Amino acid sequence: MITLFIPENQYFVTKTDYVLESLRTSILLGYIPPGTSITEKQIKEILHVSSSPIREALNQLEAEGLLTRSPHVGTRVAEIVVEDASELYSIQALLQSSAVQICTKKLSETNIRDAEKLNNQIEDIVSSGSVDVSAVKILNYRFHTIVCGISVHPWLTRLISALWIRLPNKTIWLLPHEAKIAVKHHKKILEAIKKRDAVLAGRLMKEHLQRSHKALYG
């Protein structure tokens, strides 16, 4: 039996979006490791939804490269090649810096406050000395999707999310010094966004991701 992240159902317009969020987040957090088999029956038993949205979600995730299908093997979470980490981080740095630069002047005050709240929660967990990695990874993921403009350019953010989940499951949140630096980077990015300085916000996001890449892979 697989383990799935259960999102808040009321936040999704369609059941397909609900299933997609559950599966994407479960892959992101490592609940469903690469190579794990997933069946429609398993998802139905956990999420209590009908077959149609499950099939649509599985088709979407296969198109994004997060799942693979074979007549003899079934549906599995795509294997992640660690050697691809450098390329994936480079693409993420390019996409997220561009997204932040595009969206800086379009984000609402509510968007900015929501991102600040998420980063404050991350800071509280990091400062506690006992890091709940799963919780921080979700908060961090949501922070990035907000500042990259999920409310403004959802398709760009979906592309970023699809690539994000393909990153190897190593994390800076297990490195205390780097975790604190990441929180500070988030604050600087938010300050640039508040000033509506798109160029600075984009540059800071790029430097933030490059720092994370270097800390994890040298």
Q: What is the pLDDT of residue 51?
A: 95
pLDDT at residue 203 greater than cutoff 70: yes
pLDDT at residue 12 greater than cutoff 80: no
Which CATH number is 83-217 given?
1.20.120.530
Which residues 6+ apart lie within 8 Å of 139 measured at CB? 118, 119, 121, 122, 125
Q: What is the pLDDT of residue 186?
A: 98
Mean pLDDT on 118-126: 97
- What are residue 54's phi and psi, to 5 degrees? -65, -45
Which residues 6+ apart lie within 8 Å of 114 measured at CB? 146
Contact 4, 43 (CB under 8 A): yes
H/E segment holding residue 50: none
User: pLDDT by residue (tens digit) across 47-105?
Assistant: 999 999 999 999 999 988 889 998 888 999 987 666 677 788 889 999 999 999 999 99
Q: What is the pLDDT of residue 81?
A: 67
Q: What is the pLDDT of residue 82?
A: 64
Instruction: Tell me which residue of 122, 118, 123 sits closest to 136, measured CA to CA.
Output: 122
Q: What is the pLDDT of residue 6?
A: 86
User: Which regions of the chain carry the CATH code 1.10.10.10?
Assistant: 9-77
**CA distances for 149 relative to 104, 123, 215, angstroms:** 8, 22, 26
Q: Residues 159, 103, 189, CA angle at the centre, nearest 5°?
A: 100
Contact 126, 197 (CB under 8 A): no
Task: Tell whether domain 9-77 is in CATH 4.10.410.60.
Answer: no
Q: Predicted confidence band at 9 (pLDDT cuts at 50, 70, 90)?
A: low
User: pLDDT by residue (tens digit) across 138-195?
Assistant: 899 999 999 999 888 888 887 888 788 777 777 889 899 999 999 999 999 999 999 9
Q: What is the pLDDT of residue 93?
A: 94
Q: What is the pLDDT of residue 66?
A: 84
Q: What is the pLDDT of residue 103?
A: 95
Q: In what order do the strands lie in the sheet with 37-38?
A: 37-38, 74-77, 67-70
User: Which regions of the chain carry the CATH code 1.20.120.530?
Assistant: 83-217
Instruction: Tell me which residue of 183, 191, 185 sits closest to 207, measured CA to CA.
Output: 185
Q: How far apart are CA 24 and CA 8, in angstroms?
A: 14
Q: Predicted confidence band at 10 (pLDDT cuts at 50, 70, 90)?
A: low
